[in-house]
Structure 1
Amino acid sequence: MSFTVRPVQASEWPLVKELRLAALQDPVAPIAFLETYERAVAQPDDFWQGRAADAALGETVRQFIGESPEGRWLGSVTVLVEPAGVEDFCGQTAPFAQTHVVGVFVRPEARGTGLALVLFDAAVEWSRTQPVDRVRLYVHESNARAQALYEKAGFKRTGVEVTLSAGPEFEYAFPLVSSLPEVRDLG
């Protein structure tokens, strides 16, 4: 399967919405995303327009998509910039300037093609252009498929755990600078 990975454009908000709604209907969605399909589908168009515009601008958030040669969006990853000392959506204070990978989704027909790893490469490379020390993400303790993917992409468990509405989540990180404390492999 061939695909192109690129940032979203502001005008593509209907596709941003469609792919997110597809992700929220995936069987693993209740432990993978902090949003429900019902809540997302009820959002007005200006919500989706703003989301796409912010991601296209690429100042504090960037969304990458994997697109087939026919223009079908096959997957996505979003990266948020988190300054040091600022509390994140999990209630944790970022100890380092970092980016935070969220919204990882690949359509079932594109899984196993390498698309997810290429999306992660794009997220890490964009993170390198930011004034940050590492890339991090959270994954539910029961989401073994995602944990294996993140480890294959070079992320390692840090030992930090948080409890969200769906249960315990493990933090994984990818250091961008060598002066950070070593990330442990707890997988």
Structure 2
Amino acid sequence: MNEYVVRPVRADEWLKVKELRLAALRDPAAAVAFLETLEQGEGRSDALWQERAAGAAAGSGIRQFIAEGPDGQWGGSVTVLVEEAGTTDIFDGEIAQAQAHLVGVFVRPAQRGTGLTEALFEAALEWAWGLEEPVLARVRLFVHAENARAGAFYRRFGFVPSGKVVPMPTDPSAKELEYVFPRPA
């Protein structure tokens, strides 16, 4: 992991944002890890990828962190979404307190188990806790009930199951489990 630099994405890196996302959607675990298919990702316009990268680079309500190797290749990514109190989340639930939501977690297979995922999560949480407004009460994420590998990592990192279980938006018969990381005291 030492050769990788974890940093926020820049707006002009939209082609790399697209490439990494499509690599994630090709991963064998994609069906239980993402709410998008490879076909949907490949069908998105360049304008959408440019908008996505620009929004993630702006760093106000969203921030994407990437791990860049010395050769310029990205080894992984995580995106942080800020959810304001009183808004509605993707599962149509009202957000009771300002929080962050981690999405789009992906590390290339060759980099798994190297500490890269931990470095990405550390950067994401550091950014979330450093926001002055809104002050976030917690960071959360959802994991498919059958994605045991991801669930095990999240627990090792310090996330705990909240007990909230929701249907997966793309397959209501599948369940998503909410994990939370409370704001440190």
Q: TM-score range by the shorter chain?
A: over 0.9
1:156 shift after superposition: 0.5
Identity %: 54
* Alpha-carbon separation, structure 1, partners of 2:92 and 2:28: 26
Moved over 3 A (4+): none
Helix, strand or coil for the counterpart of 2:26?
coil
Q: Which amino acid aligns with 1:65?
A: I
Q: Report the alpha carbon displacement of residue 94 of structure 1 after superposing the two structures with TM.
A: 1.5
Q: Secondary structure at the match of 2:49?
A: helix
Give CA-to-partner distance per residue, 1:81-127, whole Å, 9 cap, x none.
Answer: 00112111122222210000000000001001010011010110010
- Could you tell me which residue of structure 2 aligns to residue 185 of structure 1? none
Residue 143, structure 1, aligned to residue 144, structure 2: no
1:52-108 CA deviation, whole Å, 9 max, x = no partner?
000000011000001111111000000000011211112222221000000000000
Q: Which amino acid aligns with 2:81?
A: L
The CA deviation at 1:177 is 5.0
Structure 2 Cα separation of the partners of residues 114 and 152 of structure 1: 12
Distance 1:91 1:33 in 2: 18
What is the TM-score when the length of structure 2 is the normalising length? 0.93
Q: Name the count of aligned residue pairs.
A: 178
Q: Which residue is equivalent to 1:21?
A: 22
How many Å separate the matches in 2 of 1:63 and 1:156? Answer: 23
Whole-Å separation in 2 of the counterparts to 1:57 and 1:157: 30
Deviation sequence 1:105-164 (CA, Å, 0-9, x none): 000010010100110101100101222111000000000100011111111001111011
Displacement after TM superposition at 1:25 (Å): 0.6
Give me the whole-angstrom Cα distance separating, in 2, the residues matched to 1:90 and 1:38. Answer: 23
CA distance, structure 2, for counterparts of residue 122 and residue 90 of structure 1 = 26
Q: Which residue of structure 2 lines up, in the alignment, with residue 72 of structure 1?
A: 73
Counterparts of 2:143 and 2:94, CA distance in 1: 17
1:152 to 149, 156, 178: 156
Q: 1:134 aligns to what?
A: 138
**Which amino acid counterpart does residue 59 of structure 2 have in structure 1?**
G
1:176 aligns with 2:180: no
SS at match of 1:94: coil
Residue equivalent to 1:39: 40
| Structure 1 unmatched runs, 5+ | 179-187
SS of the aligned residue for 2:164 comes to strand
Secondary structure in 1 matching 2:117: helix
User: Residue type of the partner of 2:140?
Assistant: R
Q: What amino acid does structure 2 have at the position aligned with 1:161?
A: V
Taking the aligned partners of 1:118 and 1:96, their CA distance within structure 2 comes to 26
Aligned mates of 2:153, 2:37 — CA distance in 1 = 23
**Further displaced range: 75-84 or 92-101:** 92-101
| Unmatched segments (≥5 aa) in structure 2 | none
Alignment RMSD: 1.0
